[in-house]
Structure 1
Amino acid sequence: MDNIEREAGASGNPHYHDLLKTRALDSLAATKTYVWRTTAAALAVSMLVLAVSALVLAACLYQITLPFSESQPPLMRANTAAGFLLATVSLIVQCLVVGPRRLITLFGQLLALLLLVLAAAALMQNFMGSAGWLDTVLVQLALQPSVRLASGLHPMVAIGFIFAGSALLLLDFRLGKEQYVAEYLAIFLLFLSAIPLLGYLYNVAAMTQMVYATSIPLLSALAFLLCGLALMMSRPRHRLMAIITRHAPGGQMLRRSLPQMLILLVALHWLADWGARHDLYDRSSLPPLLTLVDGVLVLFIFWRAGGKVDLEYGARLQSAAELAEATALLIAVSDNTNDPIFVKDRLGRLIFANPACLRRLGLSWDQAKYRRSREILPLAEDADKVDQDDIRIMNGGVSETLAQTMQLPEGIVTFQTTISPWFDQQGQVMGVVGIATDISERKRAEDSLKQRELELERTIAQRTALLRELANHMETIREEEKRAIARELHDNMGASLTALSMHLEGVYKILPQDAHWQNRQGQMQTLLSSLVATTRRIQTELRPNMLELFGLKAAIAEQLEDFGARTEILCRSSLPDEDITIDHRIEIAVYRMLQEILNNVSKHAHASQVEVILDIDEDRLALTVRDNGVGMSQERFENTSTHGLRGLNERATYLGGKVRFSAGKDKGTAVVIELPISVQVQNSGEQADT
């Protein structure tokens, strides 16, 4: 650690202490683990003492015979068991962290105060030779009032309860900065309980009796030992216990070596005493033997602990060297890159920023350190957007690459920022880590390209509108030419054919009456009739008089009748009952489109039946044409480059409608044309959109 600090001081990096703080999080997490484990152990020990005390008290009050009730000395007295119940319940209550904390703590302190008062009263009454109050209460609780309960408390037991009650009452009270009274009282309680336990271990009656006529029960001494341990472990963050629960080398050495030393000391001392009692050696040689054993044991334990500390210190030195190397490399990378790099905690405070980031912000590290986004960015809306992105990434736990545009002292800048959640060893989110790349030039180029694309689309739309206007104008000219041709056919050719027919009638009268000239007369009449019919059909196709005189319904009916007569294809129609009033250009367009569809059916469909459905509502006209022919492939549906399909699409699109092609239910093809009732030229809509 010292090497790292010297290297960091030499490098002059202002962020090093923040990096050390990040490194210390691992040690803090390990310490938290030891803390909650120690608290859980204190609760477990308290529950064990509580269960045993409740069992003994129930056995004493209700005359339940326990399997070991005949053991000598007595297992535990009823009043002693009641005292342990009060002590353990008070400790468990004060270790709870749920519910109304102050009320629960106050209840636990009241139980401790009750234990302290009863123990003090029992001690005073013991010296005065009278029965204790607690004994009288316990006798009244017994199922058999005639049962005799052992009265009074052993003085040392009463003193133990006084220590335990005082420690519970002052569990969180401290003198000065870190001096907690309860810890020292718990140590006194452990020392007091160790005396009779060692007396039982070495069979020394004076230690079990402790200047009193009777011995302290073994179970009572064990219960006091466990209560003292539970008191110490219930507050693992207090000064003395914190030394053991810390992740520091001292805490690790105590956790590993102290239990081993105590167990080995007790075991070896007991073996030495056992050998003296069995005359394996003279008792006068016991002190030097114990001194030798203790010295070897202490030397072994401390030598072993020193070796472990040395290994850990070497590992820490190696880790420190690796960390120093990695830190130097990280500092070199972050200091020499032009991309801003930053680290934020869960509260959105900046805890690391490389020089490139500070230059972009126009701040020094002292000015930016631990500042939030609103304090370092000029615009509040930019700061709020950045904070929202950070919170979303921390909640989602997944890295994201964002485009962030913000106002900085140098102007408006766009960054491509990769933000990742920052996790600790337990998987908890500690904040975010980000690296940003300035893409302002690319952003401006993209904006310029988009603007040019919009202008190009607008130009194309305008040119398309002009082309459609031209196509409409050409369609109008074609309609006018068709009318002119139809008029010429009607006025000139129709009149000529009529005159020719009249002249032929005169010629027929002067022709000889033989069979040869009669055949010629029939052929000329047939040819003239066919010519007249063809002329009328061409005239009707060029200028649908039925459409102009009687409307769309009549024109469709006439067209289907003529189509069926020419092609021998069965034609069915479904037309509205009411009269149709629509724009004349829509009528012409529907008529011509139906004409084109019927021509395609006659040429390609090989159909025997055609169905035409005309549907009109308030603002829409739909013309559906279905045949039972061979049908069309999907590629043909999508191919609008052919003249027929392209003409249908162009007409419909110009008038604000559309054309759909699909396969029939069984076979054949269905064509659906949808047009508005009133003319809506498509280019006006496009101009409004642009």
Structure 2
Amino acid sequence: MLDMETSLFASVPDNQSLFLPATRTFTAAAILLSGLSLGLQIEPSIFKSAQVNRLLRIAARSFAGLMIFLGIVSLVDIAISKNFIPYLSTSIFSINVDLHAMSFLTALTAILAGWGLYRLDDVTHNKHFSAEYCAVAVLALMSVPVIGYLFNLPMLASPGPSPAISRETPWAFIALAIGMLLARPQHSMMAVLFSKAPGGRLLRSVLPATIILLVGLALLAKWGESQGFYGKEMISPLALLAGCALLLVLYWRAALILNQEYGTRVKGEAELAQTNHLIRIVSDFTTDAICVKDRRGRYIFANPMALKIFGRQLNKVVGFTSVQILEGQEEAAAAIEANHRTVLSEEKANAIEFTLKSAVGKRTYYVTTAPWFGKHGKIMGTVGIATDITDRKRSEDALRAQEARLEKLVEARTQEVRELIGHLETMREEEKRAIARELHDDMGASLTALNMHLAIMFQQISNEPGMAERIVQIKALLGSITATKRRIQNGLRPDKLDIFGIKTAITDQAMDFENYTGLSCSVSLPDEEVKYSSQVETSLFRMVQEALNNIAKHAKASHVDIILDDDGDYIYLTIRDNGVGIPPAVHPYTLTHGLRGMRERAAYLGGSIAIDSKPGAGTRISITLPKTHIISPAESATILDFPKHPA
């Protein structure tokens, strides 16, 4: 432990500096405890665990309580006897350590500092913090010995009863008091100092300069007297004169700062008033309704258009919710409230439409609601702007009705075109059948009669020289004419389609395709006997004909599959090859008139056709037909949508 001198001015000449005693035991302990207590309370919640923070707070208050205890013991020691504490340490507690009590002023300061640390975060009933007052009192008490040391004044350096105060003690407690104030900058006194208001800026600008300059002038006056420039009687007048000049300059500077702040504030208020005036003009004369709500959904602002929509006065809107204002229109009120809650939860703008009943009838509004954020980024409520879109909605409804009428007209016209195409196809088939019948009845009979007459002639002239070769040529030509007639007749209308049905007709067509092209063609048909209407069978046969014709011309295939299937409700016809396929850039239905004809045939019968083709992987034509060829306008419109060509 550090030694302590009992007398402050023993053997000290008048012209020498003041003798400085060592820091006493209790004083050093109090300073250490104060540092620990303040350090544990720098951050109120340094850890996430509430239990750990509570233990730290208890420890900090315990250290503060020990400070108070040491101060009280020191005061008791001063009041009773100087040897009280050393006697206790050696006699009662058997501790062979020299314990020295604090001085009177140090003990009083320790009690105040301990009490301030103990109640660092406690607030009184009038919203004051006692810790701040204790810190200011510590600063005031410790400033006395500091001034005594600076100006070599024994009475101020050791006020009160002995023992004396060491040089380090006042500075330690001053630092502690400043730390107590800075540890809670949000408390009332420090909040003024650190505020951005004019008072805080003025205090930060003037207070440090005032203290430093006053102390500096006093020391300068003392130094001038010690150097013999003037006598002791001149110190006070000179200090007074310099202090007045300094205060005049400082107050003048403070007045300038206040004038600048006032000018800035007046200018800002004028700009704010102008901005508010413009906002008021926009708000009052806009045709849109503008409303502001708090977090609870109560209106805090509504412009004249909003009041007109609500049909209420301002005092009947502000402070009320949408449900309370829109009585009898629960659906609209519920939509507005739900939109308000959505914006608060998501913290982003949202838009809705709702309809209100007013004196002029039903009106539809489009409302855009945005979050209203406060100064620190906390959402305070919502701002909504409602636009009357009744006329636009009516125009949209009229346009949709016109579009619906046009769609129905297009469907009707499409149906008429389909029926016309079907009629033309029927007429064409009838013409082909009539031509085929003419070829069979007239030309067939003529060729048969010609063949019989030529046979009789050949018998009569067979013995003439050179006629045998001509007879062979005539018979070959006659057979060729007969075969051509039969091929044309079958192309126009195969007899087997009318006599034996679609299965036999497709099989014979596949065999003829193999004979003409040399490509292999396999046919898969239902096992049971199938019988469809004449239109359906004719369309199926013609589509097979057209598909095989396209394959022979363009596919460069070596094999073709024809598959006919029937599930009871629909007929499925598939023709696929292993040829070169259709290029991706070419739409399947734009290649040939035959494919377009196939699509029209399928559409007229209420069916659909899909073409799946990839370059180098062949082509697949899938045809689906219902067993009845009667179709509705809606189905006809659906058929107009061409299937997309796969990539």
TM-score, normalization: structure 1?
0.75
Cα distance, 1:580–1:256 mapped onto 2, change above 3 Å? farther
Separation of aligned partners in 2, 1:629 and 1:93: 81
Q: What's the secondary structure of 2:292's corresponding residue?
A: strand
Is the Cα contact below 8 Å between 1:660 and 1:672 reproduced in 2? yes
Q: Does 1:365 align with 2:314?
A: yes
Q: Which ranges in structure 2 are unaligned for 5 or more consecutive residues?
A: 3-19, 639-647
Residue 267 of structure 1 is matched in structure 2 by: 216
Superposed CA deviations along residues 39-93 of structure 1, whole A, max 9, x for unmatched, are xxxxxxxxxxxxxxxxx99xxxxxxxxxxxxx97449854224421453156436
Residue 406 of structure 2 is matched in structure 1 by: 456
Q: What's the secondary structure of 1:338's corresponding residue?
A: coil
Separation of aligned partners in 2, 1:497 and 1:559: 25
Residue 145 of structure 2 is matched in structure 1 by: 196
What one-letter code is carried by the residue in structure 1 that aligns with 2:147? L
Superposed CA deviations along residues 362-419 of structure 1, whole A, max 9, x for unmatched, are 122212224333333444443443355456556777666x462232434432234455
Is the Cα contact below 8 Å between 1:193 and 1:222 reproduced in 2? yes
Shift of the alpha carbon at 1:433?
3.8
Residue 503 of structure 1 is matched in structure 2 by: 453
Is the Cα contact below 8 Å between 1:572 and 1:612 reproduced in 2? yes
Shift of the alpha carbon at 1:443?
0.7
Shift of the alpha carbon at 1:559?
1.6
Aligned identity (percent) is 33
Is the Cα contact below 8 Å between 2:68 and 2:115 reproduced in 1? yes
Q: Which ranges in structure 1 are unaligned for 5 or more consecutive residues?
A: 1-55, 58-70
Is the Cα contact below 8 Å between 2:562 and 2:575 reproduced in 1? yes
Separation of aligned partners in 2, 1:674 and 1:391: 55
Cα distance, 1:510–1:248 mapped onto 2, change above 3 Å? same
Shift of the alpha carbon at 1:199?
3.2
Q: What's the secondary structure of 1:634's corresponding residue?
A: coil
Shift of the alpha carbon at 1:540?
2.8
What one-letter code is carried by the residue in structure 2 that aligns with 1:83? L
Aligned positions of 1:181-580 closer than 5 A: 181-378=130-327, 379-390=329-340, 402=351, 404-410=353-359, 411-423=361-373, 429-472=379-422, 474-476=424-426, 478-479=428-429, 482-483=432-433, 486=436, 489-490=439-440, 493-511=443-461, 513-514=463-464, 517-546=467-496, 555-566=505-516, 568-573=517-522, 575=524
Is the Cα contact below 8 Å between 1:94 and 1:105 reproduced in 2? no
Superposed CA deviations along residues 184-237 of structure 1, whole A, max 9, x for unmatched, are 222212212222333343344443433354443444423322332343345545
Give 1 or 2: higher helix fraction.
1
Separation of aligned partners in 1, 2:335 and 2:111: 62
Cα distance, 1:525–1:546 mapped onto 2, change above 3 Å? same
Shift of the alpha carbon at 1:305?
1.1
Shift of the alpha carbon at 1:672?
1.8
Separation of aligned partners in 2, 1:178 and 1:523: 133
Cα distance, 1:504–1:252 mapped onto 2, change above 3 Å? same
Shift of the alpha carbon at 1:650?
1.7
Separation of aligned partners in 2, 1:115 and 1:376: 63
Separation of aligned partners in 1, 2:486 and 2:368: 78
Separation of aligned partners in 2, 1:418 and 1:337: 15
Shift of the alpha carbon at 1:317?
1.2
Residue 575 of structure 2 is matched in structure 1 by: 624
Is the Cα contact below 8 Å between 1:208 and 1:216 reproduced in 2? yes
Shift of the alpha carbon at 1:181?
3.5
Cα distance, 1:512–1:661 mapped onto 2, change above 3 Å? same
Shift of the alpha carbon at 1:670?
2.5
Residue 76 of structure 2 is matched in structure 1 by: 124
Is the Cα contact below 8 Å between 1:360 and 1:409 reproduced in 2? yes
Cα distance, 1:471–1:157 mapped onto 2, change above 3 Å? same
Cα distance, 1:649–1:263 mapped onto 2, change above 3 Å? farther
Separation of aligned partners in 1, 2:316 and 2:407: 49
What one-letter code is carried by the residue in structure 1 that aligns with 2:101? G
Separation of aligned partners in 2, 1:86 and 1:287: 43
Cα distance, 1:652–1:221 mapped onto 2, change above 3 Å? farther
Shift of the alpha carbon at 1:157?
2.9
Is the Cα contact below 8 Å between 1:582 and 1:678 reproduced in 2? no
Shift of the alpha carbon at 1:440?
0.5
Is the Cα contact below 8 Å between 2:77 and 2:84 reproduced in 1? yes
Cα distance, 1:292–1:222 mapped onto 2, change above 3 Å? same
Shift of the alpha carbon at 1:298?
1.2
What one-letter code is carried by the residue in structure 1 that aligns with 2:105? M
1:165 to 81, 106, 114: 114
Cα distance, 1:96–1:607 mapped onto 2, change above 3 Å? closer
RMSD over aligned CA atoms reads 4.2
- The structure whose RCO (Cα within 8 Å, separation 6+) is larger is 1
Is the Cα contact below 8 Å between 1:610 and 1:627 reproduced in 2? yes
Separation of aligned partners in 1, 2:587 and 2:549: 17
Separation of aligned partners in 1, 2:386 and 2:540: 61
Cα distance, 1:252–1:646 mapped onto 2, change above 3 Å? same
Is the Cα contact below 8 Å between 2:23 and 2:169 reproduced in 1? no
Residue 643 of structure 2 is matched in structure 1 by: none
TM-score, normalization: structure 2?
0.79
Q: Give the count of matched residue pairs.
A: 609
Is 153-162 or 214-223 further displaced after alignment?
214-223
Cα distance, 1:117–1:616 mapped onto 2, change above 3 Å? farther
Shift of the alpha carbon at 1:149?
5.7
Cα distance, 1:95–1:255 mapped onto 2, change above 3 Å? farther
Shift of the alpha carbon at 1:661?
4.3
